[in-house]
């Protein structure tokens, strides 16, 4: 039987898109997936992923000329055309509001996108520099790529597919906030667009208005909202937002949301000034809570409408909106929802997978089913690489040997130590999974303080998630869903919060991922042995990095994290190291 072509999926070929990422399909399987930031050490690196491509090809033992097809899930967008998609008055009204406050921001708003509007993306960027002929490049509809990735990883044969984020183009260049598809058989059939005024950039604009970073700190706003009262300024927030009431109704200044990548422009806009006024009257927590509640109510109404109008009650989702765990949980809790699957990497990194799957579907006429219970798809350091990293730090770290390193790690956790877990291949995506983690015992609230303030070096109000044994989770969490990624939050059963206080958020919920039998085996064994020793079927799991840094990629970087933070111990596959006393 002839094997499938070798396909390299790329999130964006121009080097202008957040979190530049690649995935490699080789010898009929998903062989590699990695974001450029892991190698470059630049958080959310948007540049063309040349280093990630080189590493993927090297570790799979092939050359650039062996790649049959390059598939990109971000076609040429018609950016300015989209600004008039709702009304010809929207853009002038938004620009005039900005000019009145700060006239110098007009050029800052328009100029960066002019090149995107005029230059053919296929003729610029890294692929051209690598000498790749245009005949080997396929540009895949962005929203179709998102949904293809989610559907292929889901257990559903027939469902709705929803792509929803900031905004991105269809294959014809039409920009929209998202799109809805019917997934059935081997086909994706487009049903409708989510219009530009419904853009998820609203949440990003709110993020920068609150003083946080675009495309990095939207999760902080959700955590902040959990500390607030959504009713306090609910009515005032209503006037600023696009709504779904049987159909989408655009906010008058929705274009202001698109300024989110430029904080100064957001602050100068009409919406930015309105946010500023709200923040002078109310706490950031209450403003965030009102905004997130509005957003959630819109999304719930939209999903109800979709399911009622199509008669399809199972849904797969991808796109930046679905990085919000509380929103995902609310969607799952809808009485109408019979099944919900959120892609484990909801952001645009998943389009690398979707672009591959859509290309194969076009060539072979079949839908691939690729469950993603284990996201270990990147670099796997050799024993030699680990030994060299330890040898380079022999004056600062001690090596600990153990016959059974997994059992040793479980014992260390049970004794109250916070450990770094560097095991197997790099996790694909921005979250902690089973390979590059900071782990701790959830029974000790001081662990949450140490991880946030001393290791991650971030705000202490940010909750920590857990990885848990799904067969034991229902003792603690209500209506637990055996999802292998941290896509949902759960309410606690009565009187169990005091057993795991380190991971309970301000609103009494816990974000949890299930470590099933199909997950990375050593990590599941670690949880089983921790449970045997403590009776607690879960551990704190946070990504192995400092705040605003990419997750560690090499053993040397992991050892540096051990040395420079209050981590007690680092597990490097079958070796443990700790700082010299």
Domain ranges of the chain: 383-579
- Report the distance separating Cα 328 and Cα 317, nearest Å: 9
The least confident of 48-62, 253-267, 286-300, 535-549 is: 253-267
Write out pLDDT tens, residues 242-296: 999 999 999 999 999 999 988 988 999 999 999 999 999 999 999 999 999 999 9
Model confidence at 134: pLDDT above 90: no
Phi, psi of 67 (to 5 degrees): -80, 120
Give the pLDDT band of residue 48 (cuts 50, 70, 90). very high
Q: Are strands 158-169 and 314-318 parallel, antiparallel or unpaired?
A: parallel
Could you tell me which of 530, 529, 489 has the C-alpha nearest to residue 511? 489
Model confidence at 515: pLDDT above 70: yes
Average the pLDDT over 469-490 and give the result. Answer: 95
Q: What CATH number has the domain spanning 383-579?
A: 3.90.870.20
Partnered with residue 492 across adjacent β-strands are 477
Q: In 239-366, where does DSSP find H-type helix?
A: 263-268, 270-281, 284-310, 325-333, 350-364
160 token code pair: 């709705």
Give the pLDDT band of residue 100 (cuts 50, 70, 90). confident
Predicted confidence at residue 24, as pLDDT, reads 98
Q: In 32-141, where does DSSP find H-type helix?
A: 36-40, 50-60, 79-82, 90-101, 105-118, 126-129
Arithmetic mean of pLDDT over the chain? 93
User: Whole-model pTM?
Assistant: 0.95
Predicted confidence at residue 120, as pLDDT, reads 61
């Amino acid at each position: 039987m002839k094997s499938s072509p070798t396909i390299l999926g790329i999130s964006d070929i121009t080097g202008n898109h957040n979190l530049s990422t690649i995935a490699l399909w080789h010898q009929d399987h998903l062989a590699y997936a990695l974001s450029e930031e892991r190698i470059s050490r630049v958080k959310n690196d948007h540049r063309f992923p040349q280093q990630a491509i080189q590493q993927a090809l090297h570790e799979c033992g092939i050359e650039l000329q062996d790649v049959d097809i390059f598939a990109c899930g971000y076609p040429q967008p018609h950016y300015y055309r989209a600004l008039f998609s709702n009304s010809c008055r929207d853009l002038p009204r938004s620009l005039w509001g900005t000019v009145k406050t700060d006239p110098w921001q007009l050029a800052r708003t328009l100029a960066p996108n002019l090149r995107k509007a005029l230059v053919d993306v296929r003729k610029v960027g890294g692929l051209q520099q690598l000498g790749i002929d245009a005949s080997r490049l396929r540009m895949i509809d962005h929203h179709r790529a998102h949904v293809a990735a989610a559907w292929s990883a889901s257990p559903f044969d027939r469902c709705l597919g929803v792509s929803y984020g900031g905004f991105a183009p269809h294959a014809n260049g039409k920009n929209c906030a998202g799109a809805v598809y019917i997934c059935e058989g081997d086909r994706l059939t487009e049903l409708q667009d989510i219009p530009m005024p419904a853009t998820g950039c609203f949440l990003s604009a709110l993020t920068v208005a609150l003083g946080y970073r675009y495309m990095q700190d939207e999760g902080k706003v959700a955590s902040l909202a959990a500390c607030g009262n959504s009713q306090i300024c609910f009515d005032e927030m209503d006037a600023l937002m696009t709504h779904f009431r049987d159909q989408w109704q655009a906010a008058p200044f929705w274009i202001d949301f698109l300024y989110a990548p430029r904080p100064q422009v957001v602050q100068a806009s009409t919406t930015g000034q309105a946010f500023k006024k709200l923040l002078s009257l109310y706490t950031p927590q209450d403003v965030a809570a009102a905004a997130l509640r509005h957003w959630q109510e819109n999304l719930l109404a939209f999903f109800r409408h979709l399911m009622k109008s199509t008669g399809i009650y199972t849904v797969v989702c991808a796109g930046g909106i679905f990085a919000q765990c509380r929103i995902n949980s609310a969607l799952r809790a809808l009485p109408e929802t019979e099944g919900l699957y959120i892609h484990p990497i909801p952001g645009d990194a998943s389009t690398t997978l979707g672009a591959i799957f859509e290309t194969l579907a076009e060539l072979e006429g079949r839908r691939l089913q690729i469950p993603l219970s284990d996201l270990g798809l990147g670099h796997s350091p050799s024993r030699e690489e680990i030994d060299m990293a330890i040898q380079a730090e022999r004056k600062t770290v001690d090596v600990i040997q153990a016959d059974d390193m997994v059992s040793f790690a479980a014992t260390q956790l049970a004794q109250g130590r916070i450990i770094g877990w560097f095991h197997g291949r790099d996790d694909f995506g921005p979250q902690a999974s089973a390979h590059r983690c900071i782990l701790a015992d959830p029974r000790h609230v001081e662990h949450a303080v140490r991880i946030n303030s001393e290791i991650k070096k971030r705000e202490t109000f940010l909750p920590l998630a857990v990885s848990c044994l799904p067969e034991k989770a229902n003792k603690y969490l209500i209506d637990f869903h055996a999802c292998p990624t941290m896509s949902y939050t759960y309410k606690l059963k009565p009187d169990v919060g005091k057993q795991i206080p380190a991971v309970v958020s301000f609103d009494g919920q816990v974000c949890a991922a299930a470590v099933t039998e199909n997950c990375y085996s050593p990590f599941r064994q670690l949880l089983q042995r921790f449970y045997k020793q403590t009776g607690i079927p879960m551990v704190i799991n946070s990504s192995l990095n400092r705040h605003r840094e990419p997750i560690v990629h090499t053993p040397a970087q992991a050892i540096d994290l051990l040395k420079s933070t209050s981590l007690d111990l680092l597990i490097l596959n079958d070796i443990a190291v700790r700082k010299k006393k």
